[in-house]
Amino acid sequence: LLDYQRQLSQVQQELAQNTGESGRVEQGIVESRLTLEQHNEEYQKEVRSQLAEAQLKSETLQQQLKSAAFELQHSEILATADGIAVNLGVHTEGAVVRQGDTLLEIVPQGTRLEVEGRLPVNLIDKVGTHLPVDILFTAFNQNRTPRVPGEVSLISADQMIDDKTAEPYYVLRSSVSEVAMEKLNGLVIKPGMPAQMFVRTGERSLMNYLFKPLLDRAGSALTEE
């Protein structure tokens, strides 16, 4: 009987030890799970933080890219046709150009020569389109340079005002064919060259009215006899 009691007591002790060990194991499992959950929560928090930071950086870069594309788009100015640049309005690198400012004028290549000038308002009823004109390029020797025939191609519908003198005028433009230009015998006409333009109205030619420099290839003048 005593042996059974000792064995029972020993078994009870071992059972108590096992029960305590099992409790410690379970506690360790709970602690491990809690630690794992904490680590997982911290990891998820770090991932969300990095993701938010990456999204913010991506949005910032996209905005910068849009701004750069906008600046690039508005920093390149393409001419509608090949030609020669004249009357430059900007001479400084990095200068600010206001809306509506003229950067330069393009003289198209491969087109008919056009001479533009100013017609005094009191002569508007004497000059019309398709009237013949004679053009004298005064930059050359006038004794040896022949007059080049042309034709009035345009008269502006509205009056213009000279910025300096405040004098009103109409824009008058004449065109010259390539065949007519052959009369210059190889002389090269460049943009901005002065010229005189004589409009033949029938009985007399209009003279002695100075035109502004050429808009397209040469300057012009309208004079009266």
Structural domain boundaries, residue 11: 1-76
In whole angstroms, give the CA distance from residue 205 to residue 222. Answer: 9
Residue that is written with structure tokens 């420099």 in the block: 213
Query: Is residue 106 situated within a structural domain?
Result: no
Lowest mean pLDDT among 48-62, 125-139, 158-172, 192-206: 192-206
Which three-class secondary structure string do you get for 50-72?
A: HHHHHHHHHHHHHHHHHHHHHHH
Query: Is residue 69 situated within a structural domain?
Result: yes
Query: Is residue 99 situated within a structural domain?
Result: no
Q: Identity (one letter) of the amino acid at 65? A: L
In whole angstroms, give the CA distance from residue 60 to residue 43. Answer: 25
Residues 146, 191, single domain; the answer is: yes
Q: State the sign of the Cα–Cα–Cα–Cα dihedral 139, 223, 114, 112.
A: negative
Structure tokens at 21: 């060990």
| Most confident of the following: 11-20, 31-40, 204-213 | 31-40
Lowest mean pLDDT among 48-62, 98-112, 145-159, 186-200: 98-112
In whole angstroms, give the CA distance from residue 77 to residue 92. Answer: 16
Structure tokens at 6: 């000792």
Tell me, what's the pLDDT at 4? 67
CB atoms within 10 A of CB 205: 18
For 155, phi then psi, to 5°, come to: -130, 125
The structural domain count of the chain equals: 2
**Which CATH number characterizes residue 186's domain?**
2.40.30.170
The pLDDT confidence band at residue 1, using thresholds 50, 70 and 90, is: low
Query: Is residue 123 situated within a structural domain?
Result: yes
pLDDT digits (tens, 9 = 90+) for 33-59: 888 888 888 888 999 999 999 999 999
Q: What is the DSSP string of 84-122?
A: EEES-S--STT----TT----EEEESSS-EEEEEEEEGG
- Structural contact between residues 81 and 105, judged by C-beta atoms closer than 8 angstroms: no
- Structural contact between residues 132 and 149, judged by C-beta atoms closer than 8 angstroms: yes
Q: Between 24 and 118, where is the model more confident?
A: 118
Query: Is residue 46 situated within a structural domain?
Result: yes
pLDDT at 202 over 70: no
